[in-house]
Structure 1
Amino acid sequence: MSHQSVSPARRVGVATGLAVLGVVLSVLLSIPVFVVSLGTVAQFAVALVLSELGFVAAGLVFLRATDEGLDFLRIRTPDLRALGVVVAGTVALFGYRLVAILTAQAAGLPLAGNSVTQLAEQGVLATLLLLVPLSVLVVGPAEEFLFRGVIQPYLDGAFSRALAVVLTSALFALVHLPTTWIATPNPIAVSVTLVILFGLSLLLGYLYVWTDNLVVPILVHGFYDALLFGLAYLVLSSETLPDGASAVALNV
């Protein structure tokens, strides 16, 4: 199916619908795990996997409805240059997060909590370790599949690449609104957190444009999250790490 005749407004509507569908399917798929008793660690892990599959399902709905194949996703085996970009991109995301959080704290702005802070409150350190591999194997691939693999190229068909990245990043940030609001029902804290997530998504979108390879943002996203969860574990199990490490690991 050709998308050339689809208007820009309709593309934005479809992209927004896909993002919303991803959230809805994530909630629906994770509901069954909460009606059985699996233990805190297993229950959280299974719920995470099922919820992330919601984003994959939304992307597959688009590919099926439009008769698009895997070529639409621009997936290629990364070469040495791409792997170098993955390393640099992961460091860049981490550096951006640290600067953004410390800047927000210096300005006296509150930050919304997330799964890391909730787990910290519950004292479930084992789950943080489990989230390290799950970030690389599940979270990064699932979310990048929908947002960078499907939504961004679809918007790219009607807008400039730069605007497609911006619009995709706005949707990426907004889908985190429910979880950030549940964790911290504070409009200012949620707004600051979403702005930071928007910036992170801009970097991921740029990496996809630069490399034209979906594997790159998938790996950067996965390694970035894994690094944060690993650091959070170290922070919560040690009192000797610097304040900067604590800030970047336990916020947003």
Structure 2
Amino acid sequence: MEQRQSVESLSTRKIIREFLAGAGIAVLGFLVGIIGVFLMAGGMYLYGVNIFDNVIALFAAEIIGLQVIGFGGVALAYLWYTKESLIQIEIPSLRHIAWIVIGLVSLFVALIFVSAVELVIGVDAAEHGIQQTATGNPEILLLFIPITLFIIGPAEELLFRGIIQRRLVDRLSLGYGILFASIIFAVAHAGALIASSTSGFVFMMGVYVVLGAILGITYEITKNIVVPIVIHGIFNALQAAGMYFALTNDEMAEFMTLLGLS
């Protein structure tokens, strides 16, 4: 494994090369994930299930194909192929649990701040595709809660923090590693966003960079991938729960929106 260099000694060519290498790993995860989705869709079709006629089947194909086969599979394959010990895993200690709480609070503070900025500047921020799906099928959010805790959180954090960020930190610097991994993380979510304007899309991409940076910082402080995995999973789960209550209880919708939970 290459030794981390001082920022001053890094050449522009090396910085660009390592950033593109990190982005390439993410792209590979997507390509494998797309193949996984098609395989899942084909398997379901053989059993008489058309994913385009069944929102739950489509959701399952996307989650298993993209998250498990794509992100999780590429992360594990990278570790097997390179023999690098990038991912640091420990049973959370009290210190780690404290950082999980700090990370969650930081994410929600950032989300509340973003909601306030959105209102002040009048930008119509992009929404995640699941918000549109859930509008007509709120019960899918109840399914999303365990999925994000046990599949999405682990798969995305293994790839974006465990592999891509640690690789960038080792080869460049702590700052570059967190920044570049957060940018790649944000771009990875671009396809899931539904925006009514370019400004709303760009605004939401910036939000994802900030959220990714918070997750990245907690990983570098604790040196334990379990910490951002738990933070990511709980954060998404609470948002899904908040969205469900907002969609099924009109009187709570405004309050949930203010808290950034819908």
TM-score (norm: length of structure 1): 0.89
Q: Which runs of structure 2 are paired with 1:1-252 in the superposition (5 Å)?
A: 2-4=1-3, 7-35=14-42, 36=45, 37=49, 39-53=54-68, 54-68=70-84, 71-121=85-135, 123-180=136-193, 183-184=194-195, 186-241=197-252, 243-246=254-257, 248-250=260-262
What's the counterpart of residue 10 of structure 2?
none
Match of 2:17, SS state, is helix
Match of 2:63, SS state, is helix
Q: Which has the larger radius of gyration?
A: 2
Cα displacement string for residues 39-68 of structure 1 (whole angstroms, at most 9, x for unaligned residues): 322431342132112111222232233122
In structure 1, C-alpha distance between the alignment counterparts of 2:4 and 2:116, rounded to whole Å: 46
In structure 2, C-alpha distance between the alignment counterparts of 1:185 and 1:61, rounded to whole Å: 38
In structure 1, C-alpha distance between the alignment counterparts of 2:123 and 2:4, rounded to whole Å: 45
**Structure 1 residue runs without a partner (length 5+):** none
Structure 1 residues 185, 109: CA separation in 2 closer, same or farther (over 3 Å shift)? closer
- CA shift at 1:185, angstroms? 5.9
Cα displacement string for residues 165-209 of structure 1 (whole angstroms, at most 9, x for unaligned residues): 0111011001112222xx236322211110000000010000011
- CA shift at 1:239, angstroms? 1.2
Pairs aligned (count): 244
In structure 2, C-alpha distance between the alignment counterparts of 1:171 and 1:23, rounded to whole Å: 12
In structure 2, C-alpha distance between the alignment counterparts of 1:100 and 1:244, rounded to whole Å: 15
- Percent identity, aligned pairs only, is 27
Cα displacement string for residues 54-113 of structure 1 (whole angstroms, at most 9, x for unaligned residues): 111222232233122xx4201111111211211221122122112112211321111112
Structure 1 residues 72, 5: CA separation in 2 closer, same or farther (over 3 Å shift)? closer
What's the counterpart of residue 11 of structure 2?
none
- For 2:182, give the aligned amino acid: S
TM-score (norm: length of structure 2): 0.86
In structure 1, C-alpha distance between the alignment counterparts of 2:225 and 2:25, rounded to whole Å: 18
In structure 1, C-alpha distance between the alignment counterparts of 2:80 and 2:17, rounded to whole Å: 18
- For 2:31, give the aligned amino acid: V
In structure 1, C-alpha distance between the alignment counterparts of 2:183 and 2:112, rounded to whole Å: 21
- CA shift at 1:128, angstroms? 0.2
Q: CA RMSD in A?
A: 2.1
- For 2:2, give the aligned amino acid: H
**Structure 2 residue runs without a partner (length 5+):** 6-13
In structure 2, C-alpha distance between the alignment counterparts of 1:195 and 1:140, rounded to whole Å: 20
Moved more, 124-133 or 3-12: 3-12
